[in-house]
Every structure is written in structure tokens, then in C-alpha cells.
Structure 1
């Protein structure tokens, strides 16, 4: 960030008297609600920091690291005693206090927009580090950032920064967000859609390569016929032959090249009967394989459409949560999992996935489905009596996105899982429910 911009933003921040709430919304962005509901976001990404405002930035998860605990303890419902640009450098410093039963507790919140050393540091009244977003040792910098150590000042810059006047700070902060989002969103969309399109091509290729039921039945009959012919010609077959000449029932001679050599005719016939049995099984279960691939193709197409229609990067982050490596937990390919502000949200990719979700969900979990029309089943895992409306709406939007690519108004019913009665497969009946409206045209 430009020093000139930070100076003007600090003047804007001086209007606020309280920090109502503060927390991380993702790994490097903190949200500060000033006074009652004036929310400002501080993006502390190394070498790409910024300050912005927006209508809403979904919380990717609830953070409980020591840094987050200190942040909440020291600054939630705190009074702002002063805001300054420390030493006229790229460091915004809030002086705050919380009046406890015993004494007034002074704390400094220091936001450092200093390139690769960008950081958020919490300090006590003696400039001792209480916690930091990033801990920095003496091997990385002369200025150590470590809990319990006194923080040194940054040397003053040996130049005078150029001035870049801002006409309206609030409009500027909204503009920062919009510009960043447009660039980041376009890049993320291109990357994610490319990956999904590769997956789609593989699925479509597998679908095209599926044998027809008629061909599999014909193969099964042919292998069974060869098995019977081998038994009928057993006396003429020598051990470990590579090629068979079999007298067929119509008097013709059938030549067969064996893939493997066997010690006797009975094992050769058994190999043909086994192939016949497998071909019959594949023919019987072909519709299951076809349906599985069709549902995966349809789900992937809806996924691509959902990414293409995403209006902000927060939606992309929601759609592609960070993978948690756990070899003990096997991923179910019929279920898609998302995280919305720490809540686990799952949806079925096909009927199999919908059935699994219905069977595994607990009584208090929230179930969602499009009203009076086919759709994916969605489950929000929770043990709470009531969920924030924004969580319900976000999950309902996922329900719509992964059920149809149409742009319209949709009604999504939701109710605790205990109110849903399974009839057959993924078909259900439910009585007590609430409904939320989702408009995909917005």
C-alpha cells in the first residue's frame, strides 16, 4: 500500500470510538467492526496488503490459534484511545483500552504494511509482544517479533513519499475491494474451470468407451461357447498349447489363440467360463456404471457453471476448501463437502450420495432440498437448535447451484433431519419445515 493512502485512511479511522468486534475471516484477512456496524477488512498478505470495505466477506472458518484468542480478548468491545501512523511509516497503530473490574488494560494493535514483513502485532503498554500473526526470528530480520520480547521500531524511511490524494476514503476502500476481486476472481475462475474441464473430458471419454449391453452379451455367449467346445475337444488338446484348433458343432474348425498357457483342457475351459461370467455381470451392471458416469458428468458441468457464475473470490474459496490430509479418512466420491464459516456442508452428487447423506445425518443436522422439484440433498452438520440465517442461505444457494444451471427464483425447504422420513431410495416426505428464497439472477 502507498504511504500517502495510509495517511488518509488513518484520518478516516479517527472518527471511530470503539472496536465492537475483531476476527480473522481467512488466513491473512482480519475484519474489524468499528462502533456499531462499520466493517473494514485488513488484508495482511505479504507484499500484497490492502485495506478494503465490502458488503460481506464470508468467514472461511473459525480461528482459535493463540493469536486469535488474544485478538478477541484484548480488542472485542474495546475503546479506541487513538489511531496514528507510527513514525510516519506504513504502520497503523491503534491504542485501545478495556475497563475490567480491577483496572484499565491498555493494548496496542499494530498493522504493519511493510512488504514481505507485513504483520499484525498485539502489544502491551510497554511495547512487549503479546501475540502476532507472524512470528519473526533474528535469522530472518534484525527486528524480532516474538511473544514476551520488546518490539523495536522500524528505521525511518530515507525518502519523502509522493502524495496521492483520495477524493473520498470510503469510496476508495470499496474500490480497492472491487478491483482486487475482479483481478483475483478472473484468475481463480480460469484456473479452477480449466481443472474441472480436464476432469469433465476424462469422464466423457470413459462414458464413450463403455461397451454396449448387446456387445457384452454377445461376448458372454462366445466365451461360454468356447468353454463348451474346449471340453468337447479335450482329448485332442495338449498341455501348454498356445493355439487351439477346435471342431465346432456345425463341422467347421475354430482357431483360438490363448492369452495364457494351461496344463490341461479343463483349466482352459474354466478360463473361458470365467470370462463369460464376468461379461454377463458387466452387462447386468452396465446401467449402474452408466448412471454413475452420467451423474458425475452432470455434477461436474453444474460445478463449472457455479464457478463461472461466482460473483466474488469468497464463493470460489467456499467451493474449493483446502484439503486436509488424513489417510485414515477415505473420501466418498458420491458426496461433495464444503465449509461455510466453520460449518460442514455436504451435498449428494447423485442418488447414491443423497442416500448416504440421509442415512448418516444426525437428528439435529439441517436438511435442505429444492421445493417440489428434483434436486441434490444438502446436509448442514450441527448440534445447535438454530443456525445463523446467512449459513442457511449459503447452503441453500449451493443446493440450487448443484441442481440446476437456470437463472430464476427458487424456493429451498429446510428442516432438521429428524423431520425427514425416507420412503424409497432418496425419495422423502417431510411436514415441519421452513423455506428460503434464492434468486440466481442477482
Structure 2
């Protein structure tokens, strides 16, 4: 964020009298709604911080960290006293009077757009940190950001930045939102399409590897024949033999590779069991084929829906991003897991999986 942008934003926010809503809508993005009408979003991503204006939208997931609880409790319905850019630093400081306080109380929300140390910090009137979006230890910076610690000032240094006049800051921030959304849509769509395509490709490979019913029927007959020939020629097989050369019942010469570590009198059972397995596979291979094909069709439909998506919100809804802890806990054999507005939604990839989920 440029200094002239922050000054124009501060000037505009001073037109409002109170904050009606304060919440986190993404991992690093805060939404502040002023006077029940105008929502401004503060993306506090390190190195890519930005402020934009857009219609309020319900977040895909809820955030319940201590910072989020205090942000909602202290800022929602609070009176807006002043918004400033202190010491010409890339900082927006909102001075507020919380509604929940039983006596006059002043707090500050300090939004620091300072590269790798970008942060959102709640401070009391003694400049003591109440809570912060990111905690910073002494190992990382001389400015320790922890609840109960005094917030030290950012060292001042002279910077040379271009200064521009922004005619209408709201229009400027709305245009910025459109640019951000277009870029985010492109990057996110590419990522989600890649993930979905990999799942579809994996299922296609499994379909290709499925044995053919005719081939399995031939294997069944072959293994049965081997079993019968071994029974008929049991007397010829020595304990150290690795193969049996004999003639089948039609008079054709046959060489049978003998299994290792199996007693001679159990060798015929070995081949009869192989014949039984081949028969069962042939009997059920069409069921597995239908199962895999329906799952592949599910991901192909998701892929098509991703291609048609016009908003990043739609992309996250179709292929939601899960936290690492959720990835470990939620290992599903049947269906896909979606988190929508904090609710866990399980969707089967075919009718069988839907029945199991019920």
C-alpha cells in the first residue's frame, strides 16, 4: 500500500460514525462495515497487503481465534472517533469507543502495511497490546507482538514515495477489488483445475488397469487345466523341480511353472485357488468398472463447473481448501468433504456412496 492511498482511505473513513460489523473473512483479510452500509476489506498478507471495497459476503468458514473474538466484541457497534496515518508511516490507526464498555474506554485498531511485518493489532489506551492477528517473538523482531506487551513504535525513516491525488477513493478501491478478483480467479482456477484433473486422471488409469472379463475367463480355464494336469502327474514331480513338462488332455506339450515353498500335494490346490479368484474377478469386474466410472464422472463434472465459475467464492465452494489439521482428521473412503460456512457437508461421488453416507 502506498502512503497517499492510506491517507485517502483515512480521510474517507472519517466520514463514518460507527463500525457495525468487524470480522475475519479469509485467513489474512478483515472486513469492517461502516454505518451498516459500506464494507471495506483489509488484506493483511505479508508483502501483498491491500485495501479494497466490495459488497459484504458471508465467509466460507468461521474464525474463532482469540483475535477474532476480541475483534467482534470490541469493534462491532463501536463508535468511530478518528482514523489517521500516524507519523506518515504506512499505518492506519482507528480510534474507537467500544459499545460493550460500561464506562468510557478508548481502544485502537492499528493496521500496519509494513511488508514482512504486516499486521493487525488491537491496543488499549496505554499502548498495551490486547491481541493481534500475528504474534511476533523477540527472535524475529525487536517489536514483540504479544498480548500484555507494550507496543513499540516503528522506527522512523525517510522514504521517497510518489504522491497522487485520488479523485474518488471508493471508486478507486472498487476497481482495485475487481483487479484482485480477476487475478485471484485466474490463479485459483488454475490450481483447482489441476487438483481435480489429477483425481480424474488417477481414476482413468485405474479403469485402464481393470482386467478384461474374457481374459479372466481364459485365465480361469488355464489355471483349472494346470491344477488337473498336476494332479494327473503328481508322481513325476520331485521336491526340487521348478517346472513340469507334460502333455495336456488333447496331447499338446505343456510346461507349467511350479510355485515355490508349496508342498507337492498342495500344488494343484494353488492353481485351483487362482482359477477361483479369476472367476470371482470376472464376475465382479463390471461392478468395479461402474464404481470407478461414476467417480470419474463426478470429478469431470466438478472440472466443468470450475471452468464456468466467475468468482473465487464459487471455486472455493466447489473445491474447498482444508486446514492441515482437518486433512489429517478427515480421511474419507466414501465421498468428498466440503466445509460451507463452518458446516461439514459430505457428498457421495455416486449413488452407492450417498447411501453409505446416510
TM-score, normalising length: structure 2:
0.93
- What is the deviation of 1:317? 3.2
Q: Map 1:286-365 onto structure 2 (within 5 A).
A: 286-318=285-317, 319-325=319-325, 329=329, 331-358=331-358
| Conserved 8 A contact 1:62-1:342 | yes
Q: Which has the larger share of strand?
A: 1
Match of 1:272 in 2: 271
Secondary structure of the equivalent of 1:104? coil
Secondary structure of the equivalent of 2:122? strand
- Partners of 1:56 and 1:292 lie apart in 2 by 42
- Partners of 1:118 and 1:97 lie apart in 2 by 24
Alignment of 1:84 with 2:98, yes or no, is no
TM-score, normalising length: structure 1:
0.76
- Partners of 1:337 and 1:99 lie apart in 2 by 39
Kindly indicate whether structure 1 or structure 2 has the higher relative contact order, using CA contacts under 8 Å at least 6 residues apart: 2
TM-aligned CA distance change 1:248 to 1:261, over 3 Å: farther
Alignment of 1:48 with 2:27, yes or no, is no
- What is the deviation of 1:269? 0.6
- Partners of 2:261 and 2:103 lie apart in 1 by 91
Q: CA RMSD in A?
A: 2.0
Match of 1:161 in 2: 161
Match of 1:240 in 2: 240
Structure possessing the higher radius of gyration over alpha carbons: 2
Match of 1:142 in 2: 142
TM-aligned CA distance change 1:331 to 1:137, over 3 Å: closer
Show structure 2 runs of 5+ residues with no match: none
After superposition, the C-alpha distances for 1:389-432 in whole angstroms (9 at most, x for unaligned) are: xxxxxxxxxxxxxxxxxxxxxxxxxxxxxxxxxxxxxxxxxxxx
Q: Map 1:57-136 onto structure 2 (within 5 A).
A: 57-100=57-100, 102-136=102-136
- Partners of 1:162 and 1:90 lie apart in 2 by 14
Q: Which has the larger share of helix?
A: 2
- What is the deviation of 1:324? 3.7
| Conserved 8 A contact 1:93-1:108 | yes
- Partners of 2:115 and 2:300 lie apart in 1 by 40
Match of 2:223 in 1: 223
After superposition, the C-alpha distances for 1:328-348 in whole angstroms (9 at most, x for unaligned) are: 856223311111121112211
TM-aligned CA distance change 1:323 to 1:103, over 3 Å: closer
Show structure 1 runs of 5+ residues with no match: 359-442
Paired residues, number? 357
